[in-house]
Amino acid sequence: MTNVKLTIEYDGSAYHGWQVQRDDRTVQQTIESALFKITKHPVKLIGSGRTDAGVHARGQVANFKCESRLTPEIFQKALNSLLPEDMVIKNCAIVPDTFHSRYDVKRKCYGYYIHTGPLPPVIGRQYVWHVRRQLDMARMNKAADYLVGRYDFKSFEAAGSPRSHTIRNIYAAEWSISSENILKFHIEADGFLRFMVRNIVGTLVDVGSGRIDPSEMKTILQAADRSRAGATAPAHGLFLEQVRY
């Protein structure tokens, strides 16, 4: 069996997340259907993680095993000829049999994009969260500094999640100006809880708008209580930028 690694870019707007679902269109299901046409047998695609409905990716990684002896170049070309226009295989490689796209992850990088100003954008609106009020980026970066390190991020996990281990290492968390009226939040960690990035962003927007003080981020983090953090930011502003092994 050949172990094949894919690097995938997709616009998540029309998908109900990554994982296969019975009645909804998903990223995994779309790629597996294309792989079946190429390999002539069912293929199980393993992603580095599950992106939620509406979340985009520039560097999602997945692997699958198959009996085909096609070269990576032919696999990539064949897949891209079958996939819809909102998805593309950026890279295809043969990897050792032991490689696992989920279990071997060392770090993941996400980006979240916010458009500020009185008027919402029309072009590109599906890739940013429009916030009408101006945000103080210095305040948001001061608050984000409290997140860097090894902590229990239960306060930023989706309510009702069954996961018992909520400690994660965050290596970077910083806001920058991406382009005119658009702020980008970059966050890098060894793993993320469900809705973790979006809950962090929602809380940082509260800081940037003056609703809470930057120092409150430390208190919220230590509380291990979802109700203490801000609202969940919309999915469509979030991008999985890179997965590192």
Q: What percent of the chain has pLDDT over 70?
A: 99
The pTM for the full model equals 0.95
What pLDDT sits at residue 162? 66
Strands 167-179 and 87-95: unpaired
For the record, the structure tokens of 129 come out as: 């969260």
Active site (annotated) includes residue 52: yes
Which CATH number applies to 2-95: 3.40.630.30, 3.20.20.70, 3.30.70.580, 3.90.870.20?
3.30.70.580
The average pLDDT across 147-158 equals: 96
Give the integer Cα–Cα distance in Å for 23 and 212: 42
Q: Per-residue pLDDT tens for 24-63? A: 999 999 999 999 999 999 999 999 999 999 999 999 999 9
Give the integer Cα–Cα distance in Å for 141 and 147: 10
Marked catalytic residue, from 11, 23, 24, 52: 52
Give the integer Cα–Cα distance in Å for 8 and 90: 6
Let me know if the fold of 2-95 is the same as that of 107-244.
Answer: yes
The average pLDDT across 117-142 equals: 95
Mean pLDDT, rounded, of the chain: 95
CATH architecture of structural domain 107-244: 2-Layer Sandwich (3.30)
In the chain, where are the structural domains located? 2-95, 107-244
Q: What percent of the chain has pLDDT over 90?
A: 91
Report whether pLDDT(197) > 80.
yes
